[in-house]
Copies of this chain bind each other. A is one copy, B any other.
Amino acid sequence: MTYEQLQARLRHDAALVESALTTRAAQFDSLSLLANNEQLAALKEAQDYSLMAGGKRIRPALVLEVCAVLGGECTCALPFACAVEMIHTYSLIHDDLPCMDNDDLRRGKPTSHKVFGEATAILAGDGLLTDAFGVAASHADEKKALLATRTLAAAAGSIGMVGGQMMDMRGECERYSLATLLQLHARKTGALICAAAQLGAIAAGYEPQHKEWQAITTYAQCIGLAFQVVDDILDVTADPTLLGKSKGKDTAENKTTFLTYYTVDEAREYARQLTERAIAAIEQIDQQGILCALANYLAERVF
Contact = CB atoms under 8 A, between A and B. Distances in A.
B146 A122 contact: no
A183 interface: yes
B122 A134 contact: no
Contact of A134 (B38, B39, B154): B154
A146 B142 contact: yes
Q: Is the interface of A mostly helix, strand, loop or mixed?
A: helix
A118 interface: yes
A129 B169 CA distance: 20
Contact of A157 (B118, B127, B157, B163): B127
A35 B183 contact: yes
Contacts of A97: 119, 122
A128 to B, nearest CB: 8
B127 A100 contact: no
Interface in A86-126: 94, 97, 99-100, 117-120, 122-123, 125-126
A153 B130 contact: yes
Contacts of A275: none
A142 B143 CA distance: 8
Question: What is the count of identical protomers in the complex?
Answer: 2
Contact of A131 (B38, B44, B127, B158): B158
Interface string A201-242: 000000000000000000000000000000000000000000
Given A39-B166, A165-B123, A170-B42, A133 B158 contact: no
Given A159-B28, A159-B31, A138 B150 contact: yes
Nearest to A32: B159
Chain A: number of interface residues, binned into ranges: 35 or more
A32 B157 CA distance: 13
A40 B145 contact: no
A129 B130 contact: yes
Contact of A126 (B42, B146, B152, B162): B162
Contact of A133 (B35, B42, B133, B160): B133
Contacts of A267: none
A28 to B, nearest CB: 7
A176 to B, nearest CB: 10
A130 B160 CA distance: 10
A165 B126 CA distance: 11
A166 B120 contact: yes
A40 B119 contact: no
Given A134-B150, A142-B142, A146-B149, 6 more contacts: A43-B163, A44-B158, A99-B119, A120-B169, A123-B169, A133-B153
The 8 closest A-B pairs by CB, nearest first: A134-B153, A127-B158, A99-B118, A130-B157, A127-B162, A39-B167, A131-B157, A133-B153
